[in-house]
Amino acid sequence: MSEKKGVVLFVEDEDPDIDVFQGEFKDDYEIRIARNEQECFSELKNKSDLPDIILLDIYWITTSPSGEETRHPLGIEILKKIKAERCLDIIPVIIYTRQGDATDALKIIKEGGAQDWIRKDGGKYEKAHRIDSWIKTKRLQEELRQKEKELVEERTTRKTFFEIIKAFANAIDSKDHYTHGHSERVAKWAREVARRFGLYSTEIEAIETIGLLHDVGKIGIPDNILLKPGDLTNEEFEVIKKHPMDGVSILRPITYIREWIHLVRNHHEKFDGTGYPDGFKGEKIPLGSRILVVADSYDAMTSSRPYRKMPLSSEKAKKELSDKSGTQFDPKVVEKFL
């Protein structure tokens, strides 16, 4: 028997769904079942033996005194309690729902702190891909935290720490084959622009590092939104807009880069104040973020994307930067970039 890929805590009250999941994945993962809130937190009590991922059903069946069965979103209350425990913050919680509950799942991702959602009626390969991706992300986060601790204690080198950051960036980019290598290219261009501004070497290194990690919050965007070829609905775009803040939450425990993670939060601001999440305008936007906006946008324009198969030429992309200088982009940054 091959080695199990990770530990899944499956929080589900319906036996048929439990049987289907165990039938599909009993050979791939160590599956722990919790049929109610009490069993869920019993499984999470031993902090030295926590699961790699939690699959959580939203709607639970309750029976009235008259015997009438109704479905209630009790899973949301469990999610809130999990997220309230700081020691559990690194465990990804995935909403496990039927396709008809997708709207509720997106709302919970946006407001409740869940990382993703998986359809119960999805294919086995799709489910496994999403579960494996989140397990890999959690382990990279754990390794990043450990290497950062060793760096502080001088038990590892800055080079080794930087390699772990690159691996984390590659895991983010791997969610979308259109963005393969995106983070490294953004980091490279951002570093060069920062150098042209004459910033201190520590600032240049910080901007390069954040360039690698600027999209870390996208790890929590469901694939059906991130890879959608057509226009996003308003609700879907609200999920997209959440990724800078999610990135900050993911990176905050890393002391080594904590003073720079505001650059992640503000890398979608626009110079005229119409960006997100804070609507900052002009030089109120941190210089590092203004640099990242230009580098990120240039790479997006010159790469294939789900919504645009044919990338722009370098010349057309640079013209776009010039045309939007003073509105979307800082004119000084555009001048240094060009």
Fold of the 157-337 domain: Hypothetical protein af1432 (1.10.3210)
Q: Among 102-111, 117-126, 235-244, whose mean pLDDT is lowest?
A: 102-111
Kindly report whether the global pTM for this prediction surpasses the value 0.85.
Answer: no
- Catalytic sites, residue numbers: 218
Mean pLDDT of the chain: 84
Strands (E) across the chain are located at 7-11, 30-34, 53-57, 60-63, 69-72, 93-97, 116-119
Write the DSSP string, 224-283.
HHHT-SSPPPHHHHHHHHTHHHHHHHHHTT-GGGGGGTHHHHTTT--TTS--SSS---GG
Mean pLDDT, residues 146-174 taken together: 71
Q: In sequence order, what are the beta bridge partners of 56?
A: 11, 95
Whether 173 and 182 have beta carbons less than 8 Å apart is answered as: yes
Q: In angstroms, rounded to a whole number, what is the distance separating the alpha carbons of residues 50 and 142?
A: 13
Residues above pLDDT 70, as percent of the chain:
88
* Short-list 143, 138, 215, 148, CA closest to 176: 215
Per-domain residue ranges for the chain?
7-134, 157-337
Distance of CA 101 to the CA centre of its chain: 21
Mean pLDDT, residues 297-301 taken together: 92
- Model pLDDT, residue 311: 82
Q: Which CATH number, 2.60.40.420, 3.40.50.2300, 1.10.150.130, 3.40.640.10, labels domain 7-134? A: 3.40.50.2300
Q: Is the pLDDT of residue 99 over 60?
A: no
Backbone angles phi, psi at 331, to 5 degrees: -55, -35
Q: What confidence tens digit (pLDDT) does each residue in 237-290 have?
A: 888 888 898 888 778 777 778 889 899 999 999 999 999 999 999 999 999 999
Kindly list the distances between the CA atom of residue 259 and the CA atoms of 76, 202, 206, 264, in Å, as whole numbers in the listed order.
Answer: 33, 12, 9, 11
Using 50, 70 and 90 to split pLDDT, how confident is the model at 102? low
139 or 25, which is more confident: 25
Q: Is the pLDDT of residue 328 over 90?
A: yes
252 or 26, which is more confident: 26
167 or 23, which is more confident: 23
- Model pLDDT, residue 104: 67
- Model pLDDT, residue 156: 62
Distance of CA 281 to the CA centre of its chain: 26
- Model pLDDT, residue 89: 78
- Model pLDDT, residue 50: 92
Q: In angstroms, rounded to a whole number, what is the distance separating the alpha carbons of residues 248 and 282?
A: 22
Query: Exposure string (b/e) for 163-173, b if CB count within 10 Å is 16 or more?
Result: ebbbebbbbbb
What does DSSP say about strands 60-63 and 69-72: parallel, antiparallel, or unpaired?
antiparallel
Q: What confidence tens digit (pLDDT) does each residue in 39-61 have?
A: 999 999 888 899 999 999 887 77
Q: What confidence tens digit (pLDDT) does each residue in 50-93 have?
A: 999 999 988 777 776 777 777 777 788 888 888 888 778 788 89
62 or 97, which is more confident: 97
